[in-house]
Amino acid sequence: MSVQTIERLQDYLLPEWVSIFDIADFSGRMLRIRGDIRPALLRLASRLAELLNESPGPRPWYPHVASHMRRRVNPPPETWLALGPEKRGYKSYAHSGVFIGGRGLSVRFILKDEAIEERKNLGRWMSRSGPAFEQWKKKVGDLRDFGPVHDDPMADPPKVEWDPRVFGERLGSLKSASLDIGFRVTFDTSLAGIVKTIRTFDLLYAEAEKGS
């Protein structure tokens, strides 16, 4: 009888790669990100999209990986793969990401300011359905807000404790508003566990797509 192998993040992303983000030199860090991490993220993104698309959900999943093409001076404090609903890009839609940086790994739900319509939809739902968001947050567990620590790769992201009605109003009305929430994970987390974590965001995807 064959033994089924459990796929884990560490089969794609090596724990020692966290030290790459200690490299202060722009060229040195980018060389390692593009040479070591990005090819692994491409493989992982394709595999996660395959696993996610095996079960019904609020939207299809397409794999993407950050390129950091706009950076010229300051090296990125983290890099990531993104899973979104469109082949051509992910930034204009709510999407999930697996991030690696100086603080380790995280799995997150992201709405960038470019995602205008979905940001307005989710913001409207949060502002009107604060108790529903709070109930969802309680169900999913240790939810963290990565927005305040974007520029500090070693900072511990705070727990999500803001009022969803106030935050939702801001998310839907301010052009610069964004949402970046999720969970810390470890390198030995199984891919099945990552898929399960991403699927905890299904409610947010559904509300971002349809509004309320």
User: Over pLDDT 70: what percentage of the chain?
Assistant: 97
Domain that holds residue 63: 9-210
Residue 25 lies in a domain: yes
Question: How does residue 212 score in pLDDT terms, banded at 50, 70 and 90?
Answer: very low
CA dist 112 and 186 (Å) reads: 25
| Lowest mean pLDDT segment, chosen from 144-158, 165-179, 184-198 | 144-158
- Mind listing the pLDDT tens digit for each residue in 96-150? 999 999 999 999 999 999 999 999 999 999 999 999 999 999 999 999 999 999 8
The CATH number covering residue 134 comes to 3.30.930.20
CA dist 211 and 107 (Å) reads: 24
Residue 1 lies in a domain: no
Average pLDDT of the chain to the nearest whole number? 94
- Mind listing the pLDDT tens digit for each residue in 53-77? 998 788 899 999 999 977 778 889 9
CA dist 134 and 66 (Å) reads: 31
Residue 2 lies in a domain: no
Residue 3 lies in a domain: no
The whole-number average pLDDT for the span 16-23 is 96
Question: How does residue 3 score in pLDDT terms, banded at 50, 70 and 90?
Answer: low
Residue 94 lies in a domain: yes
Residue 4 lies in a domain: no
What size, in residues, is the chain?
Answer: 212
Q: How many domains does the chain have?
A: 1
The whole-number average pLDDT for the span 176-201 is 97
Q: How many CB atoms lie within 10 A of CB 205?
A: 23
Closest CA to 58 of 104, 9, 103, 109: 109
Residue 182 lies in a domain: yes
